[in-house]
Amino acid sequence: MAAMLASVAAATGDQVTVFFSMNALSYFVKGREIEVPSEGEFGRLLQTDGVPGFRQLFHQAAELGDASLLPCSMAVDLLKIAPEDLDPQFGPPTGLTVFLNESEDGQLLTF
């Protein structure tokens, strides 16, 4: 759902920043193909042909709508991921405090 919201909002001109932390970040390491677990019946339906996956939706948000994709600096450190090992659409590692301060006047959704 986060990927769908981000891609649609960015495509329609809204300013979008997505903060990736904990378990989500591992899915965006270059060359790492981790099987994404489907959640419930609807999750299985979304894995059918023609429905873009969440990685593709986030990439589209960054490329077409200029969304900012920010990796959590703590997660990058704990997972021992070099910033250059993340997908090229990602911005610099960012702390949660910085992200929250910069989001102060915006609408914040969590997933």
Question: What separation in angstroms does the CA of 61 have from each of 14, 20, 82, 98?
Answer: 10, 14, 23, 22
C-alpha to C-alpha distance for 84 and 91, rounded to whole angstroms: 10
Residue 94 backbone phi and psi in degrees, to 5 = -135, 140
Q: What is the pLDDT of residues 6-18, one digit of tens each?
A: 999 999 999 999 9
C-alpha to C-alpha distance for 24 and 17, rounded to whole angstroms: 15
pTM: 0.87
Q: What is the pLDDT of residues 41-100, one digit of tens each?
A: 877 787 777 778 888 899 999 998 889 999 999 999 999 999 999 999 999 999 999 999
Question: What separation in angstroms does the CA of 102 have from each of 32, 72, 82, 83, 97?
Answer: 30, 14, 24, 21, 9
C-alpha to C-alpha distance for 93 and 28, rounded to whole angstroms: 13
What's the pLDDT at 53?
A: 84
Name beta bridge partners: 17.
68
Query: What CATH number labels 2-102?
Result: 3.40.1260.10
